[in-house]
Amino acid sequence: MSQIESVIVVGASAAGVSAVRTLRQEGFLGSIMLVDKDQHGAYERPPLSKQILMQADSTHHDIALINDDELTALNIEAHYGDGVRQLDPTTRRIILESGRELTADAIVLATGGEARRLPIEGADLPQILVLRHYEDALNLRQRLTADTRVAVIGGGFIGAETTASLSKSGAAVQWLDAAALPMAHLLPTELCEKIVASHCAQGVTLTPHCRLDKFIEQPDGSVSILFDDAKSIEVDVIVMGVGMAPSTPYLSDAISAELLNPVTGGIQVSDNQATKFAGVYAAGDVAAVSQVDGSTVRHEHWQSAQHQGERAAAAILNQELPVAPVDWFWSDQGDLHIEMAGKILPTKEHLVVRLEGEWPVYFSVVDNRVVGAVSVNNPNAVRAAMRMIKNDVNVEPSQLANPELPLRKLMRG
């Protein structure tokens, strides 16, 4: 492709904003257009289930990823509140919902995803909400009073964060999960038990193993949740936190067949975020990235999205790709700050527990190498683990488990 003079970034997400910033930081002087269907533009999503939900005076300005002044300073043309209706990747032309057409030498698709809804009867009732966009958080916040009864469906991090925030706000919270223990698919079982017990001690009522049948609106505006064992509960609001799906409605069926990974539903890209169409890239939650071993991974974490945006920008500028950082993720659940790094392995034989303070630190160790760690209210432990993972430090599990040995010393090897 000839010299790149114009770039369209679709999606003012962490990946999209990272891409436009990197382009300018690396000296790109051409035209940059940032497009997003959300009228509020670029904002961080993690605070939606905490800050925006809990603080009545918080707005999208408080969680902005990039504000108007920086857009002006970087000479970026923003098109907010006007989503993409159609993309032609062969000509790199997009048609917006407003009918306006834009064309560029390169396009970065950073459209993220949309919250899933359970496919059961009554799932479209107005009392049943998701928590993906700023307006979703406002909608939920406006429904909360001191005696609001809320059911949160889902045992992942979004479900746990929302449960903790709503409980702290004074709402009566029923937490429903199809599994035996929330977050057990993400964290060590013993740690999950301790975290869930902490939430329940704050007044949350957990119902594990639940199978939902349908939702029924009642004459007074409340909603009955019917389970498949004929039991039911009644609440005022339901929040679904059951995952998300990549957002690609701007692709025709024919283009979807060319671009999408059939397993993950994300846009298939190589390790430099490039799709099979020249000049078209994808980054962030929507990107299904090919791995060295032939597998495909689609991450849904803020740090990964930011890094992929940087890689897409480097690829557009034909520069060396930035080195991937150690995977890192956090979850704020009420008074609990959970951090994870690397990969937590499910087998106990690889798990090392360090009894340090109120909350144990868990390390995943393979052949005397730390490959993952998770802590609660102890971010320094995970920072040390990240150094160990990055530097491939050799460390004895018995040393890791000994709280008398400082992690700062161990991370040097």
Give the mean pLDDT of 363-378: 96
Q: What pTM was estimated for this model as a whole?
A: 0.92
pLDDT score of 129: 97
pLDDT at 413 over 70: no
In this prediction, residue 20 has a pLDDT band, given cuts at 50, 70 and 90, of: very high
Cα torsion through 386, 392, 398, 402, rounded to 10 = -30
Alpha-carbon separation of residue 180 from 128, 155, 235, 382 (angstroms): 23, 9, 22, 27
Give the mean pLDDT of 125-142: 96
pLDDT score of 411: 77
**What are the pLDDT digits (tens) for 147-171?**
899 999 999 999 999 999 999 988 9
In this prediction, residue 1 has a pLDDT band, given cuts at 50, 70 and 90, of: low
**What are the pLDDT digits (tens) for 285-305?**
999 999 988 899 999 889 999
If you average pLDDT over every residue of the chain, what do you get? 95
pLDDT score of 2: 61
Give the mean pLDDT of 266-286: 97
**What are the pLDDT digits (tens) for 34-91?**
999 999 999 999 899 889 988 989 999 999 999 999 999 999 999 999 999 999 999 9
pLDDT at 356 over 90: no
pLDDT at 327 over 80: yes
pLDDT at 114 over 80: yes
In this prediction, residue 347 has a pLDDT band, given cuts at 50, 70 and 90, of: confident
pLDDT score of 15: 98
pLDDT score of 357: 85
Q: Tell me how crowded residue 315 is: count the other CB atoms within 10 A of its CB.
A: 22
Q: What percent of the chain has pLDDT over 90?
A: 90
In this prediction, residue 410 has a pLDDT band, given cuts at 50, 70 and 90, of: confident
